[in-house]
Amino acid sequence: MFNIQKNHDITPYTTFGLPARAAYYTELTCNEDLPQLCQLPEFDMHTVCWLGGGSNVLFMQDFPALVVRMATRGIREVSRSGCIVLVEAQAGEIWHDFVQTTLKMGLSGLENLSLIPGTVGASPVQNIGAYGVEVKDRIHSVQCFDIEKQAFITLSNSDCQFAYRDSFFKHEGKKRFVITAVTFALSTECMPQAQYGDLAQVLAHNCGERSPSAQDISDAVCQIRRSKLPDPAILGNVGSFYKNPIVSAELADSIQAAYPNMPRYPQDNGSVKLAAAWLIDQCSLKNYQIGGAAVHDKQALVLINKNNATADDVRALSDYICLQVKQKFAIDLHPEPVWLPEN
Ligand code: EPU
């Protein structure tokens, strides 16, 4: 049975904390209830908002339709073959807690993704990534409910069409599929991915000559993230506010001619990923504030809810940042979080 709340305050369910209400709100605690949920008069597959940890959404105004918060729980080992262990987690599991559980199970693979806010079910949608690892590198399959066909199905890793902060779930699969659980391929052997700049330095400091364990890597990632990224429980934010832009080698070269120390990450197809944080920082925007919204002082890619920010504050701040970066570097920044309701 669903408890449908009307005109419900959804501010606490997002990490940025813009004030917002949903016309209707409920929680899903059991995947088997999905067919029944779809029959409710308040349900419309074209307008419903499936909410995970609320760490990648901004409610820019009250939400005029149904919001369903995924609150399913459960982690289980599915199978073991040699050193590869498949582990399934339900969509509503808190991502960081799940990562810590896999480490306690003696499994390696997700340690670089420690402390990313959000839920397991949201992780494939934007293919979360940090410190040289993307979740697509560890996903075996994604379990979904197909709203059109009213059937539970499993998508393989390749079905998900993963790319940088992108997947099938942001495009063709967007309205049709609800992610119910994700199965990860993890390993009983630690294959450290520890080359990423900051991480290599912190590990060298923490571990010396000893080769780092998966838990060491997780601890170092947490240490770095805590030093740069604000804790959403204390200061509202959505992590990176923009994707790192991918530009032509020519444009990257022309900027680098003026800024020899510009960070650049070559892509397989010859294009170059630039650091949005660096671009914003070059415009001297750290600490820049409009109303209650501001650019974080330790990481220019993070916008914070400094003092009861409104959606208008966030929109004005983001417009200003994009304009400054465009004028200085001729690069368009694209937000990483989803702005709701979408037009
Ligand atoms: N930099 C600056 N100024 C700043 C911050 C960074 O010049 O204020 C420079 C750094 O010196 C570095 C470069 O920008 O050379 C990149 O910075 P950083 O290593 O902190 O990573 P990022 O590109 O800003 C990405 C992800 C993060 C992830 C980190 C670590 C995106 C959009 N963001 O950030 O993901 O944690 O790498 O791997 O890809 C998120 O998606 O919410 C997120 C936090």
Q: What is the pLDDT of residues 72-101, one digit of tens each?
A: 999 999 999 999 999 999 999 999 999 999
| C-beta of residue 152 within 8 angstroms of C-beta of residue 116 | no
Q: Which 3 state secondary structure label does DSSP give 192?
A: coil
pLDDT in the model for residue 196: 87
Residue 159, CB half-sphere, CA atoms under 13 Å: how many?
11
User: Best of 222, 238, 255, 278 to mutate for ligand 1, by most ligand atoms within 8 A of CB?
Assistant: 278
pLDDT over 70 at 343, yes or no: no
Residues of the chain with CATH 3.30.465.10: 75-187
Question: What CATH number has the domain spanning 5-70?
Answer: 3.30.43.10
274: helix, coil or strand?
strand
Distance from residue 121's CA to the centre of ligand 1 (Å):
23
Q: Which of 96, 135, 132, 92 is CA-nearest to residue 116?
A: 96
- CATH assignment of 236-340, given 3.90.78.10, 2.120.10.30, 3.40.50.300, 3.30.70.1380? 3.90.78.10
Ligand 1, CB within 6 Å, residue ranges: 130-131, 239-240, 243-244, 263, 275, 277-278, 281, 299-301, 336
Question: Structure pTM?
Answer: 0.95
Backbone angles phi, psi at 290, to 5 degrees: -130, 120
Pull the structure tokens for residue 8: 């419900």
What is the Å distance from ligand 1's center to 295 Cα?
A: 14
CATH 3.90.78.10 domain residues, the chain: 236-340
- The residues that are catalytic are 165, 240, 336
What is the whole-number distance in angstroms between the Cα of residue 299 and the centre of ligand 1?
7
Q: What distance in Å separates the CA atoms of residue 23 and residue 199, rounded to the nearest whole number?
A: 44
**Mean pLDDT score of the chain:** 97
Residues 31 and 117: their CA atoms lie apart, in Å, by 22
How far the first Cα of the chain sits from its last, in Å, is 31
pLDDT above 90 covers a percentage of the chain that reads: 97
Closest ligand 1 atom number to CA of residue 164: 39
Which ligand 1 atom sits closest to the C-alpha of 128?
41
Q: Does residue 12 sit in helix, strand or coil?
A: helix
Q: Which atom of ligand 1 is nearest to the CA of 130?
A: 38
Write out the two tokens for 196: 């990423």
pLDDT digits (tens, 9 = 90+) for 257-314: 999 999 999 999 999 999 999 999 999 999 999 999 999 999 999 999 999 999 999 9
Instruction: Name the amino acid, one letter, at 87.
Output: V
Class of domain 75-187: alpha beta
Instruction: State the closest ligand 1 atom to the C-alpha of 55, by its place in the atom list counted from 1.
Output: 42
pLDDT digits (tens, 9 = 90+) for 188-197: 998 889 988 8
Here the tokens at position 163 are: 């790319």
CATH 3.30.43.10 residue spans of the chain: 5-70
CA of 228 to the centre of ligand 1 (A): 9
**Model pLDDT, residue 152:** 98
For CA atoms 255, 256, 260, 264, give the dihedral sign. positive
What was the pLDDT predicted at 68?
Answer: 98
